[in-house]
Amino acid sequence: MKELTASELARRILHLIVSLFILLCVTFVIGRVLPSDPVGAIVGELADPAAYEAMRTRLGLDLPLYQQFFIYLQGLFRGDFGQAILTGNSVASDMLQAFPATFELATLAVIISAVVGVPLGLAAALFRDSFVDKFARVVALVGHSTPVFWFGIVGLVIFYAALDWVGGPGRIDVFYEGMVEPVTGMLLVDSLLAGETEIFWNALSHIILPAAILAYMAMAYITRMTRSFTLEQLSQDYVIAARAKGAGPARTVAHHVLPNIAVQLITVLAISYGNLLEGAVVTEIVFSWPGIGQYMTNALMIGDMNAVLAATIIVGFVFMLLNFIADIAYAVLDPRTREVAR
Amino acid sequence: MKHFSKGLIAGAAAIVLNFAAPTVNAATPEDQLVIGTSLAQVLSLDPQQATEAKAIEIMSNLYDRLVKTEDRKIAPQLAESWEIDDKGITFHLRDATFASGNPVTADDVVYSLGRLTKLDQASAANFKRIGYKADNVDKLVKAVDPKTVRIELSGETTAELLLYRLAMNVASIVDSVEVKKHVENNDYGNAWLRTNSAGSGPFTLKRWTPNEMVIIEANDKYVGGAPHMRRVIVRHVPESQVARLMLERNDIDIASALSAADLKTFEGQQGFEVQRVPTGGFYVLSMNAGNPYLANPKVRKAIAYSIDYKGIEQTIMGPYGRVRNVPVPEDYEYAIPNPDWHFDAAKAKALLAEAGYPDGFSLTLKTIAQTPRIDLATAIQGSLGQVGIKVDIQQGNGSDIIADHRARNFDLLIPQTGAYMPNVLGAMEQFSSNPDNSKEANNAGNFVWRSAWDIPELTVLTAKASLEPDAKKRGALYVEMQEKFVEQKPAVLPLFERFEPIVVNSRVKDYVGHPSLLTRLEGVTKASD
């Protein structure tokens, strides 16, 4: 890790842009080469050839690939992602609608996973090979190896259908639909802004299960990483010295371990956040969650490549941005990384 | 440590309970109907554009048409009465108003039918086929006075068959005053009408969020009086198991996209009713007659004897379909009885040997990965294997498989159809007309063309039937068409008459699925818990 100079920062931003461009190219080519037929999907199974051709021309699909790509790029620079076949709206406005739903879900999930995962990892390391450690390892293993789809259905059967503890699929009960005007697009925030606490609770009861299930997936990773970071610190001389002087586990963690692993944890949380945005795809389908994952899946089904491209680019961009921020944070917050480079 | 874990569990339970406390899980309100389905393919709610099944179900409640079909007969809707003569039909409109408050006039009818043909989307195909096109519609459809409309016959249809087409969703009457306010770049208001409604039906469109929900609200200006349901919410629930849970939890009242396994759990379950809504359409085995094996009628006949229809009906189709090898539902007037095609391996093998393939051959079978088509494909693979035809299944999503079908790029493929009119012609036309089978014709909109099945005689017969004004003579032609179809060993082999199974909570009364997807909800009521 080099020192964070202006030129280094510029290099990284350039790197980010190049990665994004490569992602764009690959997705575009795959999208156009796939044997799907968006025109057929729009005009219907039994449309006559004239209507079919007219639509093909309207979508610009009769042009050579490089021209299509060029036109797409031009639009992109104007912030225009093209028109979505799926909804007829501009893809950009669809994204503004779908992204907050996913963002809200992933954010709550990352909070839950950090709040539960970090202490669990710390405890597992502090009480190595004890019951807590074994428990944490089992939790992490199960979370890591079970499909989120299965968890989603089982979670619904238990907590929604059998126990009636949480709200069902969707973001809110139907009779509250349309009662809160979207401001941020995040229902929890919007309902509070509108002073509708009843709706807030209802929305919370709907989001808690999918968020918890998503969080569990991330938690498995966070717990494992926290445990190994902590173990590494615990074997350091300064910790051994502190413990020898009589510092209890709580003090050791709070004063010695946590500050030293904080930067590494930020990286882990950033990566988890990115993964959660991706992982939201399956969760959204199980929970009828109208976010970017569901939007992208439906768009793929009908070959709506403008929508798929935009969703890929946005998720890819957020993912890269998170990594970028984590990297910068690393360089800024951890003086050691700079010294090592010297 | 024990304390710690106990504390953890207690804490977690407390958190969950806390969250759960404010949610009292009530059933859906009495004046709201909630339908769970997949909205993935709803791309537009403009009646002169959208042709997707779920979109039609929604639009049929936003708009009225001149006439409707009831028990497969034409009945009045916006037109109170009409007179038919040799040259055309004169309609007299009832005193209805649009949701905007504007009266429904002859101008609206003229505008709507003109809009259909001039927008010229796939939805116009059924009218273009009988000679109503953008360049002649202004001459053929005219306002006589504010409450009278005259539609001239185009010369390519009879009055009766025209009436059936006027009952289709695409012929919905839109509020021309309202729509004209929203025209941009000569789009006939399409950009606006895709996501708004301007009709005289019992409901108006309140909100459509793609992949999330459609909300329609009661139209208190509806000519029949405001409907019982204050609003109807159609929710996107793409996962069948999830829809099932929601139905059991009373969070939705009707589910219409359940898998066969989930449907089964509702059969005979108290509190729920499983409805089989007829579609007039079929699950079909399309054989590409461009393939040298399948070009041979003997091979096609052998395949017809290689499918265990009865077995598949019992084990796979269940509520989705019943055996039928003629493309006309068996309870339609003039429907002929089924040919004697049943699973007979010995006979099929003999036919294959006769055709010159005693050792069989290999084919691919393409299908959309969707219930029940995917299970149907597996069953066909199994039984064809028994007579020596090795089948490889390729599954895909709608856009790939439809594209392959349109491009004649398959050996075998399982499409599904629906009748656009509840009579022999409406059910059969897709199966019996292929005016130009050449590859250059590129008539991918034609169902038979896609199978490269050349049927000049049947095509002529179909055209003749659509122009025969005498009902009795037309009936005789209908019978002849079906007999000829069977005789030619169809390359578009109907397997099962298709039903759309839906599960309805018993609280919901008078929900009656319409065979052309035009289910109206104004009469639906809900009992209290």
Residue-wise pLDDT for B342-358, tens only, equals: 999 999 999 999 999 99
DSSP code of residue A94: H
Cβ atoms of B118 and B134 within 8 Å: the answer is: yes
Q: Once rounded to an integer, what is the mean pLDDT over residues B407-416?
A: 93
In the prediction, which pLDDT does B85 show? 93
Residue A235 lies in a domain: yes
Give alpha helix (H) positions in B213-312.
Answer: 240-248, 260-266, 292-295, 297-304, 309-312
Interface touch A161/B32, C-beta < 8 Å = no
B184 vs B132, more confident: B132
B346 Cβ under 8 Å from any chain A Cβ: no
Q: What percent of chain B has pLDDT over 70?
A: 94
Does the pLDDT of residue B120 top 70, yes or no? yes
H/E element, A122: helix A91-126
Measure the CA–CA gap between B513 and B504, rounded to whole angstroms. 11
Say how many Å lie between the first and final Cα of chain A, rounded.
10
Interface touch A47/B249, C-beta < 8 Å = no
Sheet (strand B88-93) strand order: B79-84, B88-93, B148-152, B141-145
For an interface test with A, which of B24, B130, B242, B433 has the most A Cβ atoms less than 10 Å from its Cβ?
B242
Residue in A closest to B119 by C-alpha = A51
Which residues of B fall within a CB distance of 8 Å from A94?
210
A45 Cβ under 8 Å from any chain B Cβ: yes
Residue A52 lies in a domain: no
Residue A291 lies in a domain: yes
Query: What is the least distance, in Å, from the CA of B177 to any CA of chain A?
Result: 23
In the prediction, which pLDDT does B1 show? 39
Measure the CA–CA gap between B424 and B479, rounded to whole angstroms. 9
Interface touch B245/A164, C-beta < 8 Å = no
Which candidate, B323, B379, B237, places its Cα nearest to that of B498? B323
Does the pLDDT of residue A217 top 50, yes or no? yes
Helices B471-487 and B456-467, packing angle to 10 deg: 160
pLDDT in tens, A266-282: 888 888 888 887 777 78
**Highest averaged pLDDT of the listed ranges A45-59, A61-75, A137-151, B481-495:** B481-495
Does the pLDDT of residue B105 top 50, yes or no? yes
Cβ atoms of B69 and B422 within 8 Å: the answer is: yes
Cβ atoms of A104 and A207 within 8 Å: the answer is: yes
Which candidate, B399, B321, B341, B324, places its Cα nearest to that of B366? B399
Does the pLDDT of residue A303 top 80, yes or no? no
Cβ atoms of B267 and B503 within 8 Å: the answer is: no
The answer to which of A7-16, B29-38, B167-176 has the lowest mean pLDDT is A7-16
DSSP code of residue A90: B
Which candidate, B189, B232, B211, B200, places its Cα nearest to that of B101? B200
Cβ atoms of B408 and B452 within 8 Å: the answer is: yes
pLDDT in tens, A187-205: 889 888 888 888 899 999 9
Residue in A closest to B210 by C-alpha = A87
The answer to which of A50-54, A131-135, B466-470, B493-497 has the lowest mean pLDDT is A50-54
How would DSSP label each residue in A127-195? TTTSHHHHHHHHHHHHHHHS-HHHHHHHHIIIIIIIS--S--SSSS-GGGTT-S--SSS-HHHHHHHTT
The mean pLDDT value of chain A amounts to 82
DSSP code of residue B512: -
B400 Cβ under 8 Å from any chain A Cβ: yes
Q: In the structure encoding, which two tokens stand for residue A96, read together?
A: 């503004």
In the prediction, which pLDDT does B8 show? 47
A165 Cβ under 8 Å from any chain B Cβ: yes
pLDDT in tens, B137-151: 999 999 999 999 999
Which residues of A fall within a CB distance of 8 Å from B29?
175
Which residues of A fall within a CB distance of 8 Å from B403?
35-37, 40
In the prediction, which pLDDT does A36 show? 67
In the prediction, which pLDDT does A282 show? 80
Which A positions 136-155 lie with beta carbon below 8 A of chain B? Answer: 153
Which B positions 212-251 lie with beta carbon below 8 A of chain A? Answer: 212-213, 215, 233, 235-239, 241-242, 245-246, 248-249, 251
Does the pLDDT of residue A130 top 90, yes or no? no
A189 Cβ under 8 Å from any chain B Cβ: no
Does the pLDDT of residue A13 top 50, yes or no? yes
- Work out how many domains chain A is built from and give that number: 1
DSSP code of residue B36: E
Query: What is the least distance, in Å, from the CA of B148 to any CA of chain A?
Result: 32
∠ Cα B2 B3 B4 (to 5°): 90
Is residue A168 very low, low, confident or very high in pLDDT (cuts 50, 70, 90)?
Answer: confident
Q: Once rounded to an integer, what is the mean pLDDT over residues B270-276?
A: 92
Residue in A closest to B129 by C-alpha = A48
pLDDT in tens, B152-165: 999 888 898 899 99
In the prediction, which pLDDT does B294 show? 96
A160 vs B120, B236, B245: nearest CB: B245
Beta bridge partners, B278, equal B499
Query: What is the least distance, in Å, from the CA of A304 to any CA of chain B?
Result: 10
Residue in B closest to A90 by C-alpha = B191
CATH class of B279-499: alpha beta
Interface touch B397/A301, C-beta < 8 Å = yes
A166 Cβ under 8 Å from any chain B Cβ: yes
Which B positions 79-138 lie with beta carbon below 8 A of chain A? Answer: 120-125, 128
Which residues of A fall within a CB distance of 8 Å from B207?
177-178
Give me the residue spans of the domains in chain B: 15-43+202-277+501-526, 67-190, 279-499
Residue A15 lies in a domain: no
Query: What is the least distance, in Å, from the CA of A165 to any CA of chain B?
Result: 5
Which residues of B fall within a CB distance of 8 Å from A202?
22-23
In the prediction, which pLDDT does B363 show? 96
- CB burial of residue B177 (10 Å; 0-12, 13-18, 19+): middle
B191 Cβ under 8 Å from any chain A Cβ: yes
In the prediction, which pLDDT does A1 show? 46
In the prediction, which pLDDT does B92 show? 97
In the prediction, which pLDDT does A45 show? 58
Measure the CA–CA gap between B286 and B72, rounded to whole angstroms. 28
pLDDT in tens, B466-500: 888 888 999 999 999 999 999 999 999 999 999 98
B493 vs A123, more confident: B493
Interface touch B242/A157, C-beta < 8 Å = no
Q: How far is CA B249 from the centre of its chain?
A: 29
- Whole-number Cα distances in Å, B525 to A257, B231, B412, B510: 65, 12, 45, 7
Q: Once rounded to an integer, what is the mean pLDDT over residues A39-55?
A: 69
Measure the CA–CA gap between B248 and B266, rounded to whole angstroms. 9
Q: In the structure encoding, which two tokens stand for residue B149, read together?
A: 């409309």
Interface touch B41/A204, C-beta < 8 Å = no
Cβ atoms of A116 and A103 within 8 Å: the answer is: no
Tokens 């209802």, located at residue: A202
In the prediction, which pLDDT does B495 show? 96
B188 Cβ under 8 Å from any chain A Cβ: no
Does the pLDDT of residue B7 top 60, yes or no? no
Measure the CA–CA gap between A239 and A257, rounded to whole angstroms. 8
Measure the CA–CA gap between A135 and A284, rounded to whole angstroms. 29
pLDDT in tens, B236-257: 888 888 999 999 988 899 998 8
A37 Cβ under 8 Å from any chain B Cβ: yes
Domain that holds residue A234: 97-168+210-338
Evaluate the omega torsion of the peptide bond into residue B372 and state whether it is cis, within 30 degrees of 0.
yes
B26 vs B385, more confident: B385
Q: Buried (b) or exposed (e) across B230-263, using 16+ Cβ within 10 A?
A: ebbbbbbbbbbbbbbbbbbbbbbbbbbbbebebb
Residue in B closest to A133 by C-alpha = B1
Interface touch A166/B209, C-beta < 8 Å = no
In the prediction, which pLDDT does B93 show? 97
Q: Once rounded to an integer, what is the mean pLDDT over residues B252-277?
A: 89
The C-alpha torsion from B234 through B239 and B244 to B246, rounded to 10°, is: -50
The mean pLDDT value of chain B amounts to 89
Q: At the fourth CATH level, which superfamily is domain B67-190?
A: Dipeptide-binding Protein; Domain 1 (3.90.76.10)
Question: How many A×B Cβ pairs under 8 Å?
Answer: 190
Query: What is the least distance, in Å, from the CA of B471 to any CA of chain A?
Result: 28
Does the pLDDT of residue B228 top 60, yes or no? yes
A247 Cβ under 8 Å from any chain B Cβ: no
B16 Cβ under 8 Å from any chain A Cβ: yes
Does the pLDDT of residue B435 top 80, yes or no? yes
Radius of gyration of chain A (CA): 24
User: Residue A326's domain is classified under what CATH number?
Assistant: 1.10.3720.10
Is residue A338 very low, low, confident or very high in pLDDT (cuts 50, 70, 90)?
Answer: low
B302 vs A330, more confident: B302
Which residues of B fall within a CB distance of 8 Å from A157?
245
Which candidate, B319, B275, B511, B283, places its Cα nearest to that of B418? B283
Q: Once rounded to an integer, what is the mean pLDDT over residues B391-409?
A: 85
A38 vs B19, B212, B399: nearest CB: B399
Measure the CA–CA gap between B383 and B306, rounded to whole angstroms. 6
How would DSSP label each residue in B332-401? STTPPPPPS----HHHHHHHHHHHT-TT-EEEEEEEES-TTHHHHHHHHHHHHHHTTEEEEEEEE-HHHH
Q: What percent of chain B has pLDDT over 90?
A: 65
Residue in A closest to B124 by C-alpha = A47
In the prediction, which pLDDT does B456 show? 95
Cβ atoms of B210 and B197 within 8 Å: the answer is: no
- Whole-number Cα distances in Å, B513 to A252, B111, B251, B254, B504: 69, 30, 21, 11, 11
**Highest averaged pLDDT of the listed ranges A318-322, B3-7, B215-219:** B215-219
Which residues of A fall within a CB distance of 8 Å from B282?
none
B98 vs A168, more confident: B98
Residue in A closest to B190 by C-alpha = A88
Q: What is the CATH number of domain B15-43+202-277+501-526?
A: 3.40.190.10
Q: What percent of chain A has pLDDT over 70?
A: 92
Cβ neighbours for B183, distance < 8 A, ≥ 6 positions apart:
B189
Q: Buried (b) or exposed (e) across B45-83, using 16+ Cβ within 10 A?
A: bbbbbbbbebbbbbbbbbbbbbbbbeebebeebbbeebe
Measure the CA–CA gap between A2 and A35, rounded to whole angstroms. 46
For an interface test with A, which of B4, B43, B230 has the most A Cβ atoms less than 10 Å from its Cβ?
B43
Query: What is the least distance, in Å, from the CA of A158 to any CA of chain B?
Result: 11
Complex prediction ipTM = 0.74
Does the pLDDT of residue A312 top 80, yes or no? yes
Q: Once rounded to an integer, what is the mean pLDDT over residues B495-507?
A: 93
Residue A163 lies in a domain: yes
Is residue B3 very low, low, confident or very high in pLDDT (cuts 50, 70, 90)?
Answer: very low
Which residues of A fall within a CB distance of 8 Å from B128?
48
Interface touch B238/A288, C-beta < 8 Å = yes
Measure the CA–CA gap between B167 and A293, rounded to whole angstroms. 39
Q: Once rounded to an integer, what is the mean pLDDT over residues A202-231?
A: 90
